[in-house]
Amino acid sequence: MTIPNYERRFQIAKKSRKTGKPRWWTVNGQGLYNATMHYTLRSKMTKYFHAYLSRYIQEQISEEQIQLIRTHLVSVSLDIYEIKKGMLPDVSNLWLWTKWFEDALQECNVLIDDNCDNVIESGRTRYHWVDSEEKRKLKFNIDFIKLKNSTHE
């Protein structure tokens, strides 16, 4: 599933008291890991990105693909096509995208649950450098590991 020219930040305030300009949060798991983000903002942001990803899931994942996903143990990974400029988050801090994607798959009834009975591998995230805004995208990969209830490894 591909999201072209993806949103990489979330507006956390319409206007800063100091500057009068909007305040933004760049998607980065560090803000959740070190508990610097207030729980109500975290909840609002999570709901926003679940809905954001759900739109693309509903547009791009067919009923046939859903049936395949439901009958297999799957692996979920993410390729990020980004322009290498300025301060980008460490790739290991972008785990939020994969978590939100798996949650959105469940909310869209693609996955019955995002637990280890369905998703047995997750978290590989990789940057790919591009040279223009038009080439920026997120590419979520769902790979089939094996049929559920299969006795073969």
142-153 pLDDT per residue, tens = 999 988 876 555
d(CA 13, CA 2): 28
Give per-residue pLDDT as tens, 73-117: 999 999 999 999 888 888 988 898 999 999 999 999 999 999 999
Q: Measured on CA atoms in the order 145, 147, 149, 153, is the torsion positive or negative?
A: negative
User: What is the CATH T-level fold of the domain 2-147, as seen in this structure?
Assistant: 60s Ribosomal Protein L30; Chain: A; (3.30.1330)
Helix (H, G, I), strand (E, B) or coil at 40: helix
* Distance, CA of 118 to CA of 123 (rounded, Å): 14
Strand 119-130 versus strand 72-83 pairing type: parallel
Q: What single letter denotes the amino acid at residue 15?
A: K
Which sign does the torsion angle of CA 142, 10, 92, 126 carry?
positive
Count of H-run helices and E-run strands, the chain: 4, 6
31: closest CA among 90, 114, 83?
90
The pLDDT, as a whole number, for residue 23 is 65
- pLDDT(16) > 80: no
Token pair, residue 75, equals 């692996």
pTM for the predicted model, two decimal places:
0.83
